Amino acid sequence: MKTRHTLRVVDETGLDPDATQERLDRVFFALSDPLRRQILERLDGQALLVSELAAPFEISLQAVSRHIQVLVQAGLIQQERTGRISRCSLDAGPLLDAAVWMNRYSKYWQQQFDLLAATLAEVDERRMKRSTRKRAEPGSSRKK
């Protein structure tokens, strides 16, 4: 019996880049909806029942449950069931993965911040020079 070997490509971290990409796709898709982001905000620091999560929203419990399932599939929510009761809690791990991915591109907006900082420093320097000149001009100080 011959064994069939398949070659699996991994990146420098030892992870399968396709699987990593799929996880990021699920996270970004989950975060693309404002209601799902609100659900995550509500779970920050606490576990809630599905009914508690659904309470502030003007949609059905079933619709909220579908949003929760998208978040579960993305790994952003852990769901613990006891009979018919389902308690949800936030799992921030996938958010860290997304933040690491986005951080690779921070150099582009960091350049803009550096340019802004240099421009503000130049403006401050001009103000200081004008202020110093005004104080040095004759008649610019008040006599009592």
Q: Where are the domains of the chain?
A: 17-98, 106-136
Pairing of strands 77-82, 48-49: unpaired
Q: What pLDDT, in 10s, does the model give residues 21-55?
A: 899 999 999 999 999 999 999 999 999 999 999 99
Both tokens of residue 9?
């490509």
Pairing of strands 77-82, 85-90: antiparallel
Helices 61-73 and 34-43, axial angle in degrees (round to 10): 80
Q: What pLDDT, in 10s, does the model give residues 60-75?
A: 999 999 999 999 999 9
Domain boundaries 17-98, corresponding CATH code: 1.10.10.10
Q: How far apart are CA 129 and CA 116, in angstroms?
A: 20
Prediction pTM value: 0.65
